[in-house]
Structure 1
Amino acid sequence: MHEYYGVHFEKMRNGWVYREWAPAAKQLFLMGDFNWWDRESHPMRRNHRGDWEIFLPFEDYKHTFVHESKIKVRVIGANDTSLDRIPAYIRRVIQDEVTHDFAGQLWFESAPFSWSDHAFLLHEAAAMPLIYEAHVGMALEDEKVGTYREFEELILPRIKAGGYNAIQLMAVMEHPYYGSFGYHVSNYFAPTSRFGTPEELKSLVNAAHGMGIAVIMDIVHSHAVKNVNEGLNEFDGSEHQYFHPGDRGYHEGWDSKLFDYGKWEVQQFLLSNIRYWMEEFHFDGFRFDGATSMLYHHHGHTDFGSADKYFDEGVDDDALLYFQLANTLIHQFNGEAISIAEEVSGMPGLCRKVKDGGIGFDYRLAMGIPDFWIKTLKHKQDEEWDLFELWHELTNRPRKEKSIAYAESHDQALVGDKSIAFWLMDKEMYYSMTVLEQNLVVDRGVALHKMIRMITLSLGGEGYLTFIGNEFGHPEWVDFPRLGNEWSYKHARRQWSLVDDPLLRYQQLDLWDKVMIQLAKDHQLLAAAPAQQLYLDPDKKILAYERGNLIFVFSFHPTESFFGFPIRMPKSGTYRIFLDSDEKIYGGFARLDKSVAYKTDKDQMVSLYVPNRVVMVMEREK
């Protein structure tokens, strides 16, 4: 529908046509720079479907209806209001630097963007996504809003060097409030102009594809900004055009509007939005924000203690159908496209194919894992860590439905919370991250940071995600400019100078992350069957398991190391350590000797030296 609604040049008629769906409105007028903002000179005509249309002949408007000029539509609504609105299908929206008002902007490309990504193959990322979640605006170290161009030139090479095969881009769709992290969307077909032009976004995606990196869009179809001036709310003067009327159309927790997925015009709007981003910008898939909120009338605010809660109580059948339609469209457009649900209830069938009665997603985010880590770090001493609970949390997922594991995402980094590194080391990160001195708090934090990431990656799912900067233990939180912080950008950025400094321990964490990601790729670890537990000792805090023909041995004990520790291997033979977190290069103490061969005895047991707070990865000699 994005090729029908909005502003388009029609060659057959030799002019521009603008169409808008506003069934309850009493009258629409197109206005802008082209008619000196005359509010009545260009009335639109309505058809029987509630579509309004106006045609502007090329010869009459070729000098005024031009690239980069601004437009709005004046709507006389069903409630007799007269408001200047931004066209719903507009491709670009800009904000006036003086008045701070938003307006639609005509964007006529002089020539189609020259894509060079025809040879890009999505297969690796689709089969085993290693996702780098990023926000273009806060990706730079400078205290400002970053751009698509700067992200392409400065950040993409870092992501490539890190080994990640997919980027999950946040805040792509236009949103009036920068501090919303992009989750209060106003203009669904407009890439945010804060970061640059549509062509610069295309260039970013094209460059990522040239590096072999897929680009997934964080798409927000779960709710919309309630603003009347910038968004869709009460566009035609009614409260039920795009959204449910009354309380059902408002999300109290998010202070935003909720779509009516049962209305076919809304389905068309949202499905067209999906195709638009894939077709125009070559996005390789989507992470659907707030899927749980969409699937249930109660938005997930209940205890999913029984199977009845998944299907018999509060399920929004219209939203469920919408997801099936959306996933069908995504995979018909690109058979290898990636579709991810931010879904916390664990509804069965979410990641089953539509033809099999499922909802059609490829992956769900394992949202319980970061919650588990934060609760553990906040409320338990190291001696109290429960390895049975840890194993359950990291392995409890539906068989034949894929999950993306992560220790922390943007949610855990927001102001009011802390990153895992900050939970572990807190103020010591300001004074004691140098490699030139030793600090017990930092030693503990660095050790556990590495272990938490490795066990989450290797045990928690069929994909993995990290948030920009957290791979090297970025300190502090994310806080966008707002009145409460005097509109500061200090915390809405990433301090790359920390990881670039060889005298700081951030570089050690970054090297660990790189080797961990490479391990997963080299051994196709996340494409392997779920892990098989080999050993678990709740008192000694030792856990061992096998996945992808690799043996992982973790010791979470805070103080004790163990000599001659017996662990039964899955096969007889000789085993060697080929990676361990205690190596000096990763900020460890070099207590393990990788030259030692561990031979199984008649009971397939090996005797290991297991230092405290270490993970070792072993492999059987062939």
Structure 2
Amino acid sequence: MTLPPTPSSPEHGSPGTARSSAPGGPVPVALDELDALLRGEHGQPHSVLGPHPAADGSGVTVRVVRPFAETVTIRHGSAPAPDGALETALSHEHGGVWVGVLPLAETPDYRISVTYPDGAHHVTDDPYRFLPTLREGDLHLIGEGRHEQLWTVLGARVHRYSGGLEGDVVGTSFAVWAPRARAVRLKGDFNGWDGQQHPMRQLGTSGVWELFVPDVGSGAHYKYAVLGSDGVWTDRADPLAGWAQEPPETASRVFESSYAWGDDAWMAARAERQPVAAPMSTYEVHLASWRRGRTWEQLADELVGYVSDLGFTHVELMPVMQHPFGGSWGYHVTSYFAPDSRFGDPDGFRLLVDRLHQAGVGVILDWVPGHFATDPWALARFDGQPLYEDPNPQRGWHKEWGSHIFDFGRNEVRNFLYANAVYWCEEFHADGLRVDGVASMLYLDYSREEGEWSPNRFGGRENLEAVQFLQEMNATVYRRTPGVVTIAEESTSWPGVTQPTSADGLGFGFKWNMGWMHDSLDYAAYEPIYRSHHHGEMTFSLVYAFSENFVLPISHDEVVHGKGSLLRKMPGDRWQQLANLRAYLGFMWAHPGKQLLFMGAEFGQESEWAESRELDWWLLDHPEHLGVHALVRDLNRVYTDTPALWTADATPDGFAWIDANDAPHNVFSFVRRSAPLGGSAAATSGEGSGSAEAAPDLVCVSNFAAVPHEGYRLGLPAAGVWDEVLNTDAESYTGSGVGNLGSIEAVAGDHAGHPAHADIRVPPLATVWFRRRA
């Protein structure tokens, strides 16, 4: 493709003012227009700068801004003037603007040669001779808020033109949405941070400002200088930057990926996967404190092997989007499209995801569309007034978190967010998004007192625009990236969180089961002698367990801010604490719902989590903590090998109580069933549980008493041999070793409504799993 010069026409940035010039003289520009250009207040710099052919073909006027130059010359190389000259000298016109006329009929491919009083000499291409890099169709979609790949047209994108004077022209196209800005300049390390040299043009009424700058490539630092509607210049990071400068520095960086993915098999399988009916055991990680000082590449070596060895099916990464303050854990984002530069460049993050996929581990990213950071160089009041944030302070400010709330009623803002969700799934192969703070988005009165919120148009407390956004985001993500899952952190009784948008649901794949988490942790914190009085706290979750598709979250929020570690929540001496922890984990892994465990709990982290230090890895030198670690590995192994624990996870058919009411013994017992091919899990009950149509049932018995129960009669779904496939009291986990010698024999005969029974040994503070032998 040949290089397209910028014509002087309204379509490509000229105000369309008719101009004439004396024969051979430059096309004239009014002095006040030049002054506006130099002040950075000219919205159409391409109408003044760059090449402008005379209507009669007598020459091409070229203007450039070089305030401190001594001489400026245009080199037009292979297009010599009639006198054979290959260069044309420009003369200083006004305030650093230089002008001259190339004695040519058409605009050539030219370069600008500049000398300075100190002897420095630079030859550069001219950004103002190129057409816009955005198409009309892109601008139309941006205006309607329907550009699903927004990052491909906004931000900084390396761009190539072929057929130039010196070969292909490679540069970067910069484009930013700032609809109420008076002007926007581009400044960076390629122009000495002098934005006067690179004023940007406004593309019609789209609100987009654009400039292609030749010879700027991957790695360049830049910012936008925005003259806001308030008349104030501010330097801004690029909202769609793909790379950011490492904090505390705040510039954006150009990045062109060269990464070659190796996860084709994973991605093909993902597209066919149904996550609700698949195993999902998730290890939640705060990368900066898992091990301190690691890069993406080091994490790809260390984290991948660790998670694979433990058998987790997924990792969930606390926010990896660029954020300036590490103590925010990533939840106050400034660059939504940039992986955290503290760990390296974006291809390093691609490597981490790729390695996890090749090891069979999915990647879920914590994503924060509910609020954003207040830093004045980022999104806040981006063009001089609220743009990304809701202008109504009763909707646009989150007083609990001290952050701005997005304007969900604005098409372009919703587009920015749902395109960002798609971006992480498509560009970085993320397998899921855990959406932070959904409850705060759904309710207008969230964390607000009476008089601090205004109702919706129907008089209610529901944020209808946020609901629309969440439905739009989920529908778009699931349509574009099959097999990906979205997960809502939602703590209220909002109906239909995981119902499809076609049924007026929010469209999430899963919802965090905050009720189960609170109830079970409250129960586990009691001394065993008191637990019988709180038995219902462990059974209540089954009243609503199948109303949504749930994740059971023991997340970072439960082990910080004075709550103590998961181990320290448990009562008793150290042996009892560890036994309680192991019993709890065994109960959790068998309970309906997918599991999520925050890092450190897998080996009994002693201290409360803090983002400023890494985990207490030295605990793995102690057998009792290594025992917890070994238990988690075995939980994951048996879990993934037992379809009864996940194929019918979200339906009542996959679960039945054996005894929900044995409060005197602090015992809970239940059966988990898989879904047979072409049928429901209910068909596997009774004698059919071992049929060829379904995998064997699994029975869970959890004893939260501090004493064992000998000869405990357990009702079972079928007679036969039931193997003890997991016992959290096993000596290999540093338990007391009370067990059933590897299996039990169930005999036919009704017991408490079950067709078979067996007398078993139930170990103290332990969970035992039995699986029927085929």
What's the TM-score once normalised by structure 1's chain length? 0.87
Aligned to 2:227, which of 76, 79, 85? Answer: 76
Q: Where does 1:287-306 land on structure 2 (aligned, <5 Å)?
A: 287-299=434-446
**Closer, same or farther: CA 360–607 of 1 in aligned 2, 3 Å:** same
Q: CA RMSD in A?
A: 2.3
Residue 527 in structure 1 maps to residue 647 in structure 2: yes
Whether the 8 Å CA contact 1:93–1:192 is kept in 2: the answer is yes
Q: Where does 1:203-282 land on structure 2 (aligned, <5 Å)?
A: 203-229=351-377, 231-282=378-429
Q: Which amino acid aligns with 2:360?
A: G
What corresponds to 1:359 in structure 2?
Answer: 506
Q: Where does 1:414-563 land on structure 2 (aligned, <5 Å)?
A: 414-424=560-570, 441-461=573-593, 463-480=594-611, 489=612, 492-499=613-620, 501=621, 503-524=622-643, 525-528=645-648, 529-535=653-659, 536-548=661-673, 549-558=697-706, 560-563=707-710
Residue 139 of structure 1: how far off its partner (Å):
1.6
Higher RCO, 1 or 2 (CA under 8 Å, sep at least 6)? 1
**How far, CA to CA, are the matches of 2:442 and 2:494 in structure 1?**
9
Residue 93 in structure 1 maps to residue 257 in structure 2: no
Cα displacement string for residues 234-286 of structure 1 (whole angstroms, at most 9, x for unaligned residues): 11010244434323101111111101112100011112111221221111121
**How far, CA to CA, are the matches of 2:412 and 2:313 in structure 1?**
36
What corresponds to 1:41 in structure 2?
Answer: 197
Cα displacement string for residues 22-71 of structure 1 (whole angstroms, at most 9, x for unaligned residues): 1122221111111111143322222443524343352xxx2xx2432211
Whether the 8 Å CA contact 1:395–1:459 is kept in 2: the answer is no
Aligned to 2:253, which of 102, 105, 109? Answer: 105
**How far, CA to CA, are the matches of 1:301 and 1:596 in structure 2?**
56
**Closer, same or farther: CA 244–403 of 1 in aligned 2, 3 Å:** farther
Residue 330 of structure 1: how far off its partner (Å):
1.2
**How far, CA to CA, are the matches of 1:509 and 1:212 in structure 2?**
23
Cα displacement string for residues 149-186 of structure 1 (whole angstroms, at most 9, x for unaligned residues): 12111111010011111111112100010111100000
**Closer, same or farther: CA 451–377 of 1 in aligned 2, 3 Å:** closer
Q: Which has the larger radius of gyration?
A: 2
**Closer, same or farther: CA 293–264 of 1 in aligned 2, 3 Å:** same
Matched position secondary structure for 2:701: strand
Whether the 8 Å CA contact 2:501–2:507 is kept in 1: the answer is yes
Residue 11 in structure 1 maps to residue 160 in structure 2: yes
**How far, CA to CA, are the matches of 1:102 and 1:520 in structure 2?**
45
Matched position secondary structure for 2:151: coil
Q: Which amino acid aligns with 2:480?
A: F
What corresponds to 1:609 in structure 2?
Answer: 761
Q: Which amino acid aligns with 1:520?
A: Y
Residue 387 of structure 1: how far off its partner (Å):
5.5
Q: Where does 1:311-330 land on structure 2 (aligned, <5 Å)?
A: 313-330=460-477
Whether the 8 Å CA contact 1:555–1:612 is kept in 2: the answer is yes
**How far, CA to CA, are the matches of 1:312 and 1:567 in structure 2?**
54
Residue 388 of structure 1: how far off its partner (Å):
3.7
- Count of matched residue pairs: 571
**How far, CA to CA, are the matches of 1:124 and 1:272 in structure 2?**
23
Whether the 8 Å CA contact 1:2–1:272 is kept in 2: the answer is yes
Q: Which amino acid aligns with 1:465?
A: L
What corresponds to 1:579 in structure 2?
Answer: 726
**How far, CA to CA, are the matches of 1:396 and 1:78 in structure 2?**
55
**How far, CA to CA, are the matches of 1:312 and 1:362 in structure 2?**
30
Cα displacement string for residues 128-155 of structure 1 (whole angstroms, at most 9, x for unaligned residues): 2211111221121xxx432211211111
Unaligned ranges ≥5, structure 2:
1-149, 163-168, 450-455, 674-696, 751-755
Matched position secondary structure for 1:476: coil
Aligned to 1:26, which of 173, 182, 189? Answer: 182
Matched position secondary structure for 1:35: coil
Matched position secondary structure for 1:600: strand
**How far, CA to CA, are the matches of 2:530 and 2:630 in structure 1?**
29
Residue 596 of structure 1: how far off its partner (Å):
5.6
**Closer, same or farther: CA 596–102 of 1 in aligned 2, 3 Å:** closer
Cα displacement string for residues 78-111 of structure 1 (whole angstroms, at most 9, x for unaligned residues): 2222211111111111136xxx3311122234xx
Residue 331 in structure 1 maps to residue 478 in structure 2: yes
Whether the 8 Å CA contact 2:366–2:436 is kept in 1: the answer is yes
Matched position secondary structure for 1:564: strand
Matched position secondary structure for 1:185: coil
Whether the 8 Å CA contact 2:176–2:210 is kept in 1: the answer is no
**Structure 1 stretches of at least 4 aligned residues deviating more than 6 Å after TM superposition:** none
Deviates more, 1:35-44 or 1:238-247: 238-247
Cα displacement string for residues 495-516 of structure 1 (whole angstroms, at most 9, x for unaligned residues): 33422x2x43111001111111
**How far, CA to CA, are the matches of 1:81 and 1:393 in structure 2?**
57
What corresponds to 2:260 in structure 1?
Answer: 114
Residue 451 of structure 1: how far off its partner (Å):
1.1
Matched position secondary structure for 1:283: coil
What corresponds to 1:413 in structure 2?
Answer: 559
Deviates more, 1:72-81 or 1:2-11: 2-11
**Closer, same or farther: CA 52–576 of 1 in aligned 2, 3 Å:** closer
Identity of aligned residues (%): 25
Q: Which amino acid aligns with 1:620?
A: R
What's the TM-score once normalised by structure 2's chain length? 0.70
Whether the 8 Å CA contact 2:200–2:209 is kept in 1: the answer is yes
Matched position secondary structure for 1:119: helix
Q: Which amino acid aligns with 1:471?
A: E
**How far, CA to CA, are the matches of 1:596 and 1:355 in structure 2?**
48
Whether the 8 Å CA contact 2:559–2:608 is kept in 1: the answer is yes
Residue 415 of structure 1: how far off its partner (Å):
3.5
Residue 371 of structure 1: how far off its partner (Å):
2.1
Whether the 8 Å CA contact 2:323–2:333 is kept in 1: the answer is yes
Whether the 8 Å CA contact 1:341–1:361 is kept in 2: the answer is yes
Whether the 8 Å CA contact 2:284–2:316 is kept in 1: the answer is yes
**How far, CA to CA, are the matches of 1:52 and 1:345 in structure 2?**
39
What corresponds to 1:286 in structure 2?
Answer: 433
Deviates more, 1:317-326 or 1:381-390: 381-390
Q: Which amino acid aligns with 1:575?
A: W
Q: Which amino acid aligns with 2:151?
A: H
What corresponds to 1:436 in structure 2?
Answer: none
Whether the 8 Å CA contact 2:524–2:580 is kept in 1: the answer is no
Residue 315 of structure 1: how far off its partner (Å):
1.3
Whether the 8 Å CA contact 2:284–2:599 is kept in 1: the answer is yes
Matched position secondary structure for 2:658: strand
Cα displacement string for residues 537-578 of structure 1 (whole angstroms, at most 9, x for unaligned residues): 1122122111131111121112x3332222222223343433
Q: Which amino acid aligns with 1:531?
A: F
Residue 402 in structure 1 maps to residue 534 in structure 2: no
Residue 185 in structure 1 maps to residue 346 in structure 2: no
Whether the 8 Å CA contact 1:576–1:594 is kept in 2: the answer is no
Whether the 8 Å CA contact 1:339–1:363 is kept in 2: the answer is yes
**Closer, same or farther: CA 522–596 of 1 in aligned 2, 3 Å:** closer
